[in-house]
Structure 1
Amino acid sequence: MFITWATKYGALFSFRVFLGRGGVKFGVGELYEGGNLKIGIIARLETPGVLKVVRRVMNVLRGEEILLERGLAKKLGRSPASSRMLKKADAMITVGGDGTVLFAQHLAPDVPILGINLGRRGFLAEVKPVEVGPALEKLRNGELQVVRRERLRTMIGTKRLADALNDVVVASASMGKTIAAKVLVDGEEAMEIWGDGVIVATPTGSTAYAHAAGGPLLHPDLKAFVVVPVCASSPRPPSLVVPIDSHIKVEPTRPARDGYVVVDGVVKARVGYGKSIEMDRSKNPALFFKWEKFYRKVRERL
């Protein structure tokens, strides 16, 4: 699946942690000092109007060092930044939708992201096109805070998958078939499902697939995860809100049918009967520049 995304967005690069002027790291919750920034830009190239917005971003950030990933640089007729240069980025700007943000944070999990929304909803990509100028000026002037967003660590046996910013979905590996599974929280059976699957979501992900499946919304600062059954047979188990330090395990219980694990819609893995998917709080939260207030987004976009 990473190959597909690489085709859409260009080369896969890693980025270093967010550093302020003079190489001083700024803590979460502090304001960025601004000036002499090295800024990476990732864009969803298929989105209508994306290059126009990218050019506007570059114009507003004139004077800063702009690092374009390979696919975007080719579209703009500019030289791409080297992998080494991109690793020195101080911040990441995404232009697209929430999927672009998810892709960027999987590539650069330690770099704060500011997302410009050209998609349909834009819960992660908070900045509207008309707000590009003010948002980027605030970034340059040190008026945007960096906030943490919880992520899920996911293990299948000894194999660790990418950490999830939004959710981990366990479904049947057979298209159109149901899955039978048990969900255990801290070793205690919490629900048994027979249906399309189960979603384990972070507070950030509670506004996405988990919400569409009937789960509750969690404020991003709430220290909890939500477990949501998807189209489960009657009696339908209720959604669960569990403490952030919980250990969550999903065990497929039907020998003839494997499970399929999807992390943030990007990373996928197959899990057979007799194996389990284990999730808990990641030690590596995602980092974002805070632009829009949560309840405003709830009012306007859900």
Structure 2
Amino acid sequence: MPELRRVLVFAKRTSYDRYIRQQGVPRVKELLARGDVTVARMVRADEHHHRTVEEVQRALEAVGARVTLRYRDRLEAFDAFDLVVTVGGDGTLLWASHGVGDTPMLGVNSAPHDSVGFLCGTRMGEVLPHIEAIAKGTAPRVKLARMQVSVEGEVVHRRVLNDVLFANPHPAHTSRYLLSFRGMLEEQKSSGLWISTGAGSTAAIRSAGGRLLSLRSRLLQFVVREPYTPDGAPYSLPRGLVHPGERLEIFNKMRECRLYVDGPRISLPVELGQRVTFCTSDEPLTVMGVSTRAVSERQRHTTVDGEDVSDAGDDVRPAGSGSGSGSGSRRSPLPSR
């Protein structure tokens, strides 16, 4: 680890910051004044967050680092820094990671009672020892694989850390597309398609029935969300694991379609007939402070039904007799491009 000369602290804006300090939303003020249950944690989370931002700045100054503070509403390339420290939760780390190439990152969970911080290496009240370990070069680190996304052969994002949702922008609409993987092409209707990295396998894709992958895994995973099969025949490609060097392709059949990258803030349009390609990125992300215990615990859960899916495995299981060519098959010849 290089000497910590220039460090970026990238902090989120709390709900209280946005709704009260910045916008002064009357409805939120009213709810807070009467102690409504829907905003009961807002003040506490705000206090904890700003206290943590100050704690992080003090810890970095204690090891001689020059600190630059920026907030989550501003994203740019961050590779001029020796370290990027995010203050918030996993969402803040995900957002900042899009501006980070080779620079290591440390996530600090500023409100551990109110936010998810699985990828955060430390938390409020425990920052200084972790900063000191990073400065000494003794802090644990893990390289996380990221995903590259292309539309019609042009890369639109190569730093996806968690997941992408391919779907109609209207939640009540059916998503229509052709899914191509390992020589199979299948027409599908569903609520959309989740594609995730190993790091993202604990998130939405797991709720949709996906597998838990090793934190160090370089595999991608896809799961069809709420498949629509009125004739009762299962899809041949309901889910699968995409190895490094492989590609997953989707051909859009919708007039309106979006790619939601690492959450709702990055939303990319896909036109009717366009091809979207997903593969493992050649830009992994280095995350500091994630303990070996957390990695080992994650690894312990990556053997499913006797199959190790940490770095290998195949979850593409054709319907019917195993050939996927029964009466319910929706497979088609691969399109020429």
The TM-score normalised by the length of structure 1 is 0.75
Aligned to 1:199: 194
Aligned to 1:39: 7
Q: Decide which of 183, 195, 207 is 2:179's aligned counterpart.
A: 183
Q: What are the ranges of 5 or more consecutive residues in structure 2 without an aligned counterpart?
A: 15-44, 301-337
Q: CA deviation at 1:213?
A: 1.3
Corresponding residue SS for 2:9: strand
Aligned to 1:247: 247
Aligned to 1:77: none
Aligned to 2:320: none
List per-residue Cα deviations over 1:20-72 (Å, max 9, x = no partner): xxxxxxxxxxxx26x44321100112151222111111222224223323449
Aligned to 1:267: 266
How do 1:95-110 residues align onto structure 2 when only pairs under 5 Å count? 95-110=87-102
Aligned to 1:222: 217
The TM-score normalised by the length of structure 2 is 0.68
| Closer/same/farther in 2, CA of residues 126 and 210 from structure 1, 3 Å limit | farther
Q: CA deviation at 1:153?
A: 1.0
Q: What are the ranges of 5 or more consecutive residues in structure 1 without an aligned counterpart?
A: 1-31, 73-82
List per-residue Cα deviations over 1:254-302 (Å, max 9, x = no partner): 5xx3321111123211112211111112111112114222354799xxx
Whole-angstrom distance in 2 between the partners of 1:157 and 1:285? 23
Whole-angstrom distance in 2 between the partners of 1:110 and 1:36? 15
Whether 2:309 is the aligned partner of 1:289: answer no
More displaced 10-residue stretch of structure 1: 234-243 or 200-209: 234-243
Aligned residue identity for 1:123 = F
More displaced 10-residue stretch of structure 1: 92-101 or 219-228: 219-228
Aligned residue identity for 1:244 = P
Aligned to 1:138: 133
Q: CA deviation at 1:175?
A: 3.8
Whole-angstrom distance in 2 between the partners of 1:56 and 1:69? 13
Aligned residue identity for 2:123 = K
Q: CA deviation at 1:242?
A: 2.5
Whole-angstrom distance in 2 between the partners of 1:159 and 1:297? 34
Is contact 1:170–1:260 with CA below 8 Å preserved after alignment? yes
More displaced 10-residue stretch of structure 1: 153-162 or 273-282: 153-162
How do 1:61-210 residues align onto structure 2 when only pairs under 5 Å count? 61=60, 62-71=62-71, 87-117=79-109, 118=111, 119-163=114-158, 164-189=160-185, 191-210=186-205
Is contact 2:198–2:216 with CA below 8 Å preserved after alignment? yes
Whole-angstrom distance in 1 between the partners of 2:55 and 2:140? 23
Aligned length: 253
Q: Which stretches of structure 1, 4 residues or longer, exceed 6 Å deviation after superposition? A: none
Q: Which has the larger radius of gyration?
A: 2
Is contact 2:52–2:125 with CA below 8 Å preserved after alignment? no
| Percent identity (aligned) | 25
Is contact 1:58–1:66 with CA below 8 Å preserved after alignment? no
Whole-angstrom distance in 1 between the partners of 2:4 and 2:11? 22
Whole-angstrom distance in 2 between the partners of 1:206 and 1:262? 16
More displaced 10-residue stretch of structure 1: 229-238 or 290-299: 290-299
Whole-angstrom distance in 1 between the partners of 2:137 and 2:282? 27
Corresponding residue SS for 2:212: coil
